[in-house]
A = this chain, B = another copy of it.
Amino acid sequence: MNKLEVGILGATGMVGQRFVSLLENHPWFELAWLAASDRSAGKTYAEACSWRLREPMPESARRLAVHECQTGAQGGKIPQLLFASLDSKVAGEVEQEFARAGHVVVSNSSNHRMEPDVPLLIPEVNPDHLALVTAQRRERGWKGMIVTNPNCTTVGLAMSLAPIEQAFGLEKVLMTSMQAVSGAGYPGVPTLDILGNVIPHIAGEEEKVEQETQKLLGKLSDGRVRPGDFAVSAHCNRVLVEDGHMESVSVALKSKASVEDLIAAWRKFRALPQERRLPSAPAHPIVVREEKDRPQPKFDVNTERGMATVIGRVRPCPVLQFKYMALSHNTIRGAAGAALLNAELMKSEGYLD
């Protein structure tokens, strides 16, 4: 099979680096084009990028040129499929420019997520929402399109909720996060802010989690998503962890269920990415651990190559009904891996032909 050439908008940031790393040896996609800020444009990727991942920069990426984030960027054809991890200050306009020019923009930025004609997608949760792009292209008169994945904190929560929403119906969700510093990008969180500390605020994060979760678990009806009719409340905190967002979750359900019922629902959960064996899909999208003190970022964040949501400590909640911990890798399942899986879904659905 000929691989499909792909590009990255915002290739030098933390999520951009994850894209580069995950695309190395990808069976369907081949990294052919990189773009970043004007400061980086004109350099090779090795020159432009302050690589922060533990695994070395892929050799194949080192010598790629970094272009400007413009549809008219010089120096080689821009691929149809573009992964985007731009700063939200510029992402809105740049993504639109590329979509208008015919590119399929698979974005990790928040700018367009909540627009009614833009799919906000987790392939295991709401693959049918991808159909929103038909309206998007028609209404906006675009040849290309924009498809988004959720915020890094939303993903783990929504993944953990989907199976129990399907089985028992959701009424209330209260989540407190303890988020890793890589979620703030690079240079991101100054050491002086977080050493021996907890920061109880991340700008815009709680609103994103609350709104995105309802959109993700909403129903597609008449070409629009009707948000889930359950309440969501998020407390978001930053802690001194490199990768992996931890979430203490309490839920109330519509139907009667037991702790064992929840665990069973999570364990048997499989969806379209698993059925179609999409390359980045985890074999087990949800892994439930039985130790009394897991999941932990140190040991569990890379479960299923960082694509699984790891759940533990499932127990009754005296205020709502159940409580549990969920852990999700914020720059893999919560960002670059999320977008990559979205693109794989789109390819398997014929959107990239």
Contacts and interface: CB of A to CB of B under 8 A. Distances in A.
A195 B318 contact: no
A342 interface: no
Interface in A223-251: 231-233, 235, 237, 239-242, 246, 248, 250
A230 to B, nearest CB: 9
Contacts of A182: 192
Interface string A295-306: 111110010000
Interface stretch (A118-126, A170-178, A270-278): A170-178
Contacts of A193: 52, 187, 191
A135 interface: no
Interface stretch (A1-9, A37-45, A196-204): A196-204
A247 to B, nearest CB: 9
A233 B320 contact: yes
Nearest to A298: B197
A167 B242 CA distance: 42
Contacts of A240: 191, 195-196, 239-240
A244 to B, nearest CB: 8
Interface residues of A, number: 56
A190 B199 contact: no
Interface in A294-339: 294-299, 302, 312-313, 317-320, 323, 325
Name the residue in A210, A295, A323 with the highest tally of chain B Cβ atoms < 10 Å from its Cβ: A323
Given A194-B191, A325-B200, A237 B242 contact: no
Given A250-B233, A319-B172, A196 B241 contact: yes
A11 B250 CA distance: 39
Contacts of A173: 319
A220 interface: no
B190 A186 contact: yes
Interface in A36-90: 52, 54
A197 B318 CA distance: 27
Name the residue in A191, A299, A312 with the highest tally of chain B Cβ atoms < 10 Å from its Cβ: A191
Contacts of A14: 192
A181 interface: yes
Interface string A197-219: 11111000000001000000000
A141 interface: no
A293 interface: yes
A325 to B, nearest CB: 5
Contact of A323 (B231, B235, B242, B317): B235
Top 4 closest A-B pairs, CB basis? A176-B176, A235-B248, A187-B190, A201-B293
11 contacts: A54-B302, A174-B317, A174-B320, A176-B248, A178-B198, A181-B195, A197-B241, A197-B297, A200-B294, A232-B318, A235-B323
Interface of A: 14, 52, 54, 172-174, 176, 178, 181-182, 186-201, 210, 231-233, 235, 237, 239-242, 246, 248, 250, 292-299, 302, 312-313, 317-320, 323, 325
